[in-house]
Amino acid sequence: MVIRLNAYDKYDVALLIDERGKARWVDLLKEFVENGTDKHVSRQTLSNYLKELREDGIIAKTIDTKTLALLHIIRPIYKVTKTGRKRLQKISDKKEIYSFLDSAAPEEMEKLRKEVARLKRN
């Protein structure tokens, strides 16, 4: 399995939706597909991420009633579910730790190794 550090994963999508409260497809496209950086995903990958997140119960696809009332057009929005929010907090904490590990200086890594060894003993 190859892990690409400069690519987004499905939890980045969920965390953005949680941060904003809700997101439309075009918002997600701008953020993850058409952002003009090396760190992006394809439309198909984004669509797959949303499908997986819905299947996992982390996000829900709903209809924006305000838009529906004003424009008479059905435009889905994505929101984080209550159970998904709890799972996302754990995932966010792990992503923060992994990010620290990726960028830690050798001295910090040595301190971390000692702390982990101490925690294992207790």
Residue 4 lies in a domain: no
pLDDT digits (tens, 9 = 90+) for 21-66: 999 999 999 999 988 888 889 999 999 999 999 999 999 988 776 6
pLDDT at 74 over 80: no
Residue 2 lies in a domain: no
- Report in angstroms the alpha-carbon separations of 13 from 28, 74, 76: 8, 22, 16
Report the pLDDT value the prediction gives residue 2, as an integer from 0 to 100.
43
Residue 49 lies in a domain: yes
Place of tokens 């923060």: 96
pLDDT at 1 over 50: no
- Residues with Cβ < 8 Å from 20, sequence gap 6 or more? 27
- Report in angstroms the alpha-carbon separations of 34 from 19, 31, 70, 72, 84: 19, 7, 28, 28, 26
Per the structure, how many domains does the chain have?
1
Query: Residue 60: which CATH number?
Result: 1.10.10.10
8-state DSSP, 56: T
Write out the residue range of the structural domain in which residue 97 sits: 10-121
Report the pLDDT value the prediction gives residue 28, as an integer from 0 to 100.
94
Residue 3 lies in a domain: no
pLDDT at 8 over 90: no
Residue 5 lies in a domain: no
